[in-house]
Amino acid sequence: MIIELIGLPGCGKSHISVLLAERLRNAGIPASEPSRRIGHSRTLPRLAAKSACALIFLVLHPIRTIRTAFAVARTRQTSLKNLVKSLFNLLFVRGLFVLFPQKNRVVLLDQGLVQGCASVHFSACRPLAQGFLASLPVPELVLHIRADQETVIRRLGKRVTGAGSRVEENPAEQLSRYAESLESLSDRPSLKVAEIIEICNTGDGKNLDEKLDAAVEKIVQMYQSSR
């Protein structure tokens, strides 16, 4: 089963993914984190891995790749750079859905399809078409990680990613737009997300532990019922 973590850049998705994976393994549930491992590697290995995922999706599903490209192009991105980046990230995530088997394990994605579509919306003049959204495979569970803007800006300031994030270039101005993009996707019925759980990551360790324990309990129940 696929669990996707969504939220603003810098809200702590990757950190919480690590904590969830550890808790799940302690509960006897095999868990993998392909997007986090790829996303936190060095620049060249990261680009190579993302390109390989996108290429594999292209080879295995050429028609879906073309439809994805047309869907992103119709959003009228504000620049060619944004068009290429949005499409590349979306194809990378679609490749992850194909490459990593979901049976008998939990796949945690800190960069998944909901987040990828929100990234497309972030620099679009038009939203993604409802028909395209309805055609996408969706995770069984979405964990929406929330943190206040001040905390997010502080965390982004400490990053040394080299990834060229559009939000990192001017977080004070861009975070509100990104939040709107996420909200528009998480509320979209065409995505057919089974359930969304809110987790606040504001530095309160006790509250975060309680939320994570509740999320793990839910995931374990879903995992056991799906076998």
Calpha distance 117→128 (Å, rounded): 8
Each residue of 11-28: pLDDT tens digit? 889 999 999 999 999 999
Each residue of 58-110: pLDDT tens digit? 999 999 999 999 999 999 999 999 999 999 999 999 999 998 866 788 999 99
Report the CATH number at residue 213: 3.40.50.300
pLDDT band at 198 (very low <50, low <70, confident <90, very high): confident
To 10 degrees, what angle do helices 62-73 and 80-99 make?
150
Instruction: Using alpha carbons, select from 222, 227, 201, 223 the residue that is nearest to residue 17.
Output: 201
State residue 176's pLDDT score. 79
Look at the chain and report how many structural domains it folds into. 1
Domain extent at residue 115: 2-226
Each residue of 36-67: pLDDT tens digit? 999 888 889 999 999 999 999 999 999 999 99
